[in-house]
Amino acid sequence: MLFFTQCFGAVLDLIHLRFQHYKAKRVFSAAGQLVCVVNPTHSLKYAPTRCAAAQASTEQGTLPPCHHHEAVHDSQLVPCTCPLFSCPWEGHLEVVVSHLRQTHRINILQGAEIVFLATDMHLPAPTDWIIMHSCLGHQFLLVLRKQEKYEGHPQFFATMMLIGTPTQANNFTYRLELNRNQRRLKWEATPRSILECVDSVISDGDCLVLNTSLAQLFSDNGSLAIGIAITTSKVHSSEAEM
């Protein structure tokens, strides 16, 4: 009976996932956009992380490791950039994508424009939805987090990080768009480098921020669809033409 119950539960989860994917494809297929259904993961990293240690070092007047990232070279090791876990891994920037895919099982989707469909938005904070986006010869990390910035008032934070240096990140512009029930909300900005710490970006509010009521307004049966588009920045394009 236990075996049957577990198998039956797995089948139900698969049916639910396929149903969510079907709904998303039905809505966005007309626009020719790829859809990726992303299930939530409760963050396991709320032990002190490298980013938290860096912030503590700043408060104590010492130079944090994150401040050295602007001068990162190929021979320098960087910590794991996955915002979900306190991962002790270190490696070169060029193998961060392989580490995220193989160790943390983060999916990657290719295409100029994709739809990030986050399921189960009702789950309590802290919860994360994460995917990698391969576009224009680079890899980006999209992080959607449900977090209580103020006690009893959860908010949703969405940001796009380039798996590269800050100088490379300045060459791109990303757009996050919510569109439902004749309402549209759009956020456009330059992505931050993954070396700058996802936690810091969210804490600073330099991202798309939704309160619970606004998220519910754009959600459909507990799922939130976010359209993603990445382009080269105007400054970078004009320099290329010259």
User: To 10 degrees, the CA torsion angle through 62, 77, 168, 54?
Assistant: -20
Place of tokens 């669809």: 225
Q: Where in the sequence is the domain holding 83, given as residue range(s)?
A: 32-41+74-232
Inter-residue contact 177 to 115 (CB < 8 Å):
no
Considering the domain boundaries, does residue 54 fall inside one? no
Q: What is the pLDDT of residues 71-119, one digit of tens each?
A: 334 447 788 877 766 788 888 888 888 888 888 888 888 887 899 999 9
User: For the chain, first and last CA: distance in Å?
Assistant: 70
Q: Are the C-beta atoms of 195 and 180 separated by less than 8 Å? A: no
Question: What does 113-128 look like in DSSP terms, one character per residue?
Answer: EEEEEE--TTSPSSEE
Q: Is residue 102 part of a domain?
A: yes
pLDDT given at position 144: 95
In a domain, 225, yes or no: yes
The answer to whether 233 touches 173, Cβ cutoff 8 Å, is yes
pTM for the whole thing? Answer: 0.72
Give the C-alpha separation, 55 to 41, whole Å. 25
Name the domain count of the chain: 1
The answer, yes or no, to whether residue 55 has pLDDT greater than 50, is no
239 found inside a domain: no
Among 53-67, 90-104, 223-237, the range scoring the smallest mean pLDDT is: 53-67
CATH number of 201's domain? 2.60.210.10
* CA distance readout (Å), 49 to 40, 55, 71, 87: 21, 10, 21, 8
pLDDT digit string (tens) for 168-214?
999 999 999 999 988 999 999 999 998 888 888 988 899 999 999 99
d(CA 118, CA 133): 15
- Residue 200 is assigned to a structural domain of this protein: yes
**Does residue 4 form part of some domain?**
no
More confident residue, 48 or 38: 38
In a domain, residue 93? The reply is: yes
Query: 241 lies in a domain?
Result: no
Q: What does residue 228 show for φ and ψ, rounded to 5 degrees? A: -125, 130
**Rounded Cα–Cα distance for residues 196 and 217 (Å):** 31
